[in-house]
């Protein structure tokens, strides 16, 4: 678990109080401290790509429009947030933010979960790794070239 997650309720309360405060100087000081606390959270961004079989597009879109709650819950347990999958011209692009301290350990935990294996039984047959994917790599990692917070 991320060692800074305990700050989130504090940040939300302080932010709420700051926005309701009539004293502009106090409000700005609290907002500045809140922003500093948020900046201490470690977030690692991951992007990856894979091909989608054309005949599987509608099925893939349908199951992701209403994913199993256990899948979403397990992603959160494994410190994955702000996770999206986009589609274009036969390719799926995945973006996620990781807030944990041990990516490898969390990915092992995720891969050992029964509900995840059941989900992958549905999704894996829809996908084809891109040509540049490494041995055993399904979703090929992408290099981040630019980011704006």
The first and second tokens of residue 92, run together, are 């799926």
The SS3 assignment for 38 reads: helix
| CA atoms in the 13 A half-sphere facing the CB of 102 | 6
- pTM for the whole thing? 0.71
Q: What is the DSSP letter of 66?
A: S
Treating both helix axes as pointing N-terminal to C-terminal, what angle do 114-123 and 69-77 enclose, rounded to 10 degrees?
Answer: 120
Residues in the chain: 149
pLDDT in tens, 59-106: 999 999 999 999 999 999 999 999 999 999 999 999 999 999 999 999
pLDDT in tens, 103-136: 999 999 999 999 999 999 999 999 999 999 999 8
Assigned CATH topology for domain 44-141: Alpha-Beta Plaits (3.30.70)
């Amino acid at each position: 678990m991320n060692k800074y997650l305990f700050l989130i309720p504090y940040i939300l309360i302080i932010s709420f109080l700051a926005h309701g405060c009539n004293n502009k100087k106090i409000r700005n000081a609290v907002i500045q401290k809140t922003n500093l606390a948020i900046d201490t959270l470690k977030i690692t961004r991951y992007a990856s790509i894979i091909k989608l079989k054309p005949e599987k597009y509608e099925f893939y879109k349908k199951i992701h429009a209403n994913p199993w709650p256990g899948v979403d819950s397990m992603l959160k347990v494994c410190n994955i947030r702000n996770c999206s999958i986009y589609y274009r011209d036969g390719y799926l692009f995945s973006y996620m933010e990781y807030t944990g301290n041990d990516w490898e350990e969390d990915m092992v935990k995720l891969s050992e979960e029964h509900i995840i294996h059941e989900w992958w039984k549905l999704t894996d047959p829809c996908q084809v790794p891109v040509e540049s994917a490494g041995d055993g790599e399904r979703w090929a990692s992408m290099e981040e070239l630019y980011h704006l917070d």
